[in-house]
């Protein structure tokens, strides 16, 4: 049993400072309600202090050499590594991640450091162009990284690492629903002997601290990961100062099963991919789009896979996925399941309430509806819970039409034994990230959304370039 944490300070200008904000949030385990700790949230005045520190640090950091940046990234990576096991344990408690998922988050963080170091060493920051001018890529300035709670450390680092590599200074504002992991990450960064003000972390609510950071005239760029509503509010607050806004928002991932796919192999994988982290993943393949004449086969395979998942405490090695994040998430997921049942969408397995063996905690049942009407709320809204919709198509044109009948456009999936037909379908799906037959993740490939899933890309060279301005130097 770990003693509750008490985070009463913010990391600003290379030091732990007492916040001006007086709002204290209590953080409880989503699995059993145990008190995990308390965090004092910063307010608009704390936001201003962080911006001032980052602005001051930008003057020298923007002029840093590639060697200095590589050295800083190496120190950050080493500091992260020291704390990674403790962070993984903590993510299991604060977010309800299983150990495998928490370790996967650390793996992704390491990959961001390694990928960015490799890119930085060869990136052409200055190029003589045909036509007699020069292009110089310069850091955009002070960057604010606003993150959600579902993969918090990965989100903070996948923004901070390329921003710092680009020569920017950073203020991270984690989700107020998971403030403790941000504080732990800042503890690691405090050990990295970074230039003061290069990396700042201010816990705070979106409505005050977040809004102030988004609107601040001395902030040059906001990168937000969150809901469509959060992304829109940040963009609106940022608009008067014409700052760059990078948005990583929600999704409703289509997963098209082409007729020649190996259904017995890919349907169970599709169910697991949809329901990992209790479905609280922006890129989750939540709409399984299958040939109408194969619906019964798919339904049987999917139900068997869902019923084979073990919902339980995050620290039990047998657990496939743990609880939903909090009461609001639980109520939202239950509300969408109820609406689907009341609206006549056929429930194949799962449904309302907790699994029978878990009377407390925010646990939800692995739930599958099908065949679902493409315009039903359960098929169009992001549930962010362990809920899969099976939709049917009569021909490939209709499959693509259903896949694209969404306001979102983040991740999409195609399953096929024929690379050419899978590639042809991938070309027609309106999404920023299309994966064929569940390939392994790579930090080199850009990730981001079309339409209401966002603007801009993270990871790889594209992720670095989000944080760069382009300067033309032309002489007579
Ligand atoms: P949210 O929008 O409620 O909050 C996200 C962050 O934005 C938090 O730090 C919050 O404080 C801040 N925020 C909210 N309103 C704000 C405002 N008015 N001004 C400034 N800041 C504000 O989202 P959430 O519930 O934390 O996260 C879940 C959502 O995130 C889901 O929609 C999910 O799909 C999405 N998400 C997207 C990605 C991606 O890479 N595209 C990754 C993970 C999660």
pLDDT tens digits, one per residue of 441-459: 999 999 999 999 999 999 9
Q: Is the CB of 211 under 6 A from ligand 1?
A: yes
Give CA–CA dist 369/367, Å, rounded.
7
Q: Is the CB of 382 under 6 A from ligand 1?
A: yes
List the domain boundaries for the chain: 5-249+452-474, 254-443
Interval 351-389: pLDDT, tens: 999 999 999 999 999 999 999 999 999 999 999 999 999
**Annotated catalytic residue 158:** no
The sheet carrying 5-7 orders its strands as 5-7, 35-40, 24-28
The number of residues making up the chain comes to 476
> How many whole angstroms from 330 Cα to the centroid of ligand 1?
17
Mean pLDDT of the chain: 97
Predicted local confidence at residue 332, as pLDDT: 98
Interval 259-314: pLDDT, tens: 999 999 999 999 999 999 999 999 999 999 999 999 999 999 999 999 999 999 99
In CATH, 254-443 is 3.10.20.340: no
Counting from 1 in the atom list of ligand 1, the atom nearest the Cα of 248 is 41
Give CA–CA dist 365/148, Å, rounded.
23
CA 255 to centroid of chain Cα atoms: 19
Beta-bridged to residue 248, according to DSSP, are 225, 454
Counting from 1 in the atom list of ligand 1, the atom nearest the Cα of 410 is 41
From residue 246, alpha-carbon distances to 146, 152, 223, 238, 354 in Å are 10, 17, 5, 11, 37
pLDDT above 90: residue 42: yes
> How many whole angstroms from 147 Cα to the centroid of ligand 1?
6
CATH number of 5-249+452-474: 3.40.605.10
pLDDT above 90: residue 1: no
Beta-strand ranges (E) seen in 156-208 are 169-173, 199-201
> How many whole angstroms from 211 Cα to the centroid of ligand 1?
13
Is the Cα dihedral 221, 227, 228, 230 positive or negative? negative
Q: Which of 94, 176, 187, 248 is an active site residue?
A: 248
> How many whole angstroms from 343 Cα to the centroid of ligand 1?
29
Q: Say if residues 386 and 274 touch (Cβ distance below 8 Å).
A: yes
The share of the chain scoring above pLDDT 70, in percent, equals: 100
Predicted local confidence at residue 2, as pLDDT: 81
Mean pLDDT along residues 73-94 = 97
Q: Say if residues 284 and 273 touch (Cβ distance below 8 Å).
A: yes
Give CA–CA dist 296/370, Å, rounded.
10
Q: Say if residues 161 and 463 touch (Cβ distance below 8 Å).
A: no
Cβ neighbours of residue 439 closer than 8 Å, sequence gap 6 or more: none
Query: At 50, phi and psi to the nearest 5?
Result: -65, -40
Counting from 1 in the atom list of ligand 1, the atom nearest the Cα of 173 is 9
Q: Is the CB of 149 under 6 A from ligand 1?
A: yes
pLDDT band at 475 (very low <50, low <70, confident <90, very high): very high
């Amino acid at each position: 049993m770990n003693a509750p944490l008490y985070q009463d300070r913010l990391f600003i200008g290379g030091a732990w400072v007492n916040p001006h904000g007086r709002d204290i949030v209590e953080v409880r385990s989503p699995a059993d309600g145990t008190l995990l700790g308390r965090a004092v949230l910063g307010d608009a005045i704390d936001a201003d202090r962080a911006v001032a520190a980052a602005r001051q640090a930008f003057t020298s950091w923007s002029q840093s050499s590639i060697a200095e940046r590589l050295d800083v990234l190496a120190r950050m990576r080493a500091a992260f590594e020291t704390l990674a096991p403790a962070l993984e344990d903590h993510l299991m408690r604060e977010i309800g991640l299983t150990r495998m998922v928490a370790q996967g988050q650390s793996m992704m963080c390491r990959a961001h450091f390694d990928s960015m170091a490799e890119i930085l060493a060869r990136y052409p920051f200055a190029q003589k162009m045909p036509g007699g001018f020069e292009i110089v890529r310069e850091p955009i300035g002070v960057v604010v990284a606003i993150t959600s709670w579902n993969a918090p450390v990965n989100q903070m680092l996948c923004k901070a690492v390329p921003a710092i590599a680009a020569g920017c200074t950073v203020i991270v504002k984690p989700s107020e629903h998971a403030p403790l992991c941000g504080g732990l990450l800042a503890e690691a960064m405090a050990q990295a002997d970074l230039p003061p003000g290069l990396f700042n972390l201010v816990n705070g609510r979106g409505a005050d601290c977040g809004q102030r950071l988004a609107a601040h005239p001395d902030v040059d760029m906001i990168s937000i990961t969150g809901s469509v509503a959060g992304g829109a509010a940040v963009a609106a607050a940022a608009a008067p100062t014409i700052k760059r806004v990078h948005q990583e928002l929600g999704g409703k991932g289509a997963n098209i099963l082409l007729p020649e796919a190996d259904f017995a192999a890919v349907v169970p994988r599709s169910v697991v991919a949809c329901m990992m982290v209790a479905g609280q993943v922006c890129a989750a393949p939540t709409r399984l789009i299958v040939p109408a004449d194969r619906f019964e086969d798919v339904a049987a395979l999917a139900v068997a896979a869902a019923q084979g998942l073990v919902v339980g405490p995050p620290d039990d090695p047998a657990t496939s996925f743990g609880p939903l994040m909090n009461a609001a998430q639980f109520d939202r997921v239950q509300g969408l399941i109820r609406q689907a049942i009341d609206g006549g969408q056929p429930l194949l397995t799962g449904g309302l309430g907790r699994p029978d063996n878990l009377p407390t905690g925010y646990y939800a049942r692995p739930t599958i509806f099908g065949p679902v009407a493409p315009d039903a709320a359960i098929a169009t809204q992001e549930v962010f819970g362990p809920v899969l919709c099976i939709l049917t198509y009569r021909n490939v044109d209709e499959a693509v039409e259903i896949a694209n009948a969404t306001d979102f456009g983040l991740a999409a999936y195609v399953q096929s034994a024929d690379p050419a037909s899978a590639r042809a379908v991938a070309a027609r799906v309106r999404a920023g990230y299309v994966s064929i037959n569940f390939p392994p993740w790579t930090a080199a490939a850009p990730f981001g959304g079309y339409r209401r899933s966002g603007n801009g890309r993270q990871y790889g060279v594209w992720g670095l370039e989000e944080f760069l301005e382009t300067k033309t130097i032309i002489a007579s």
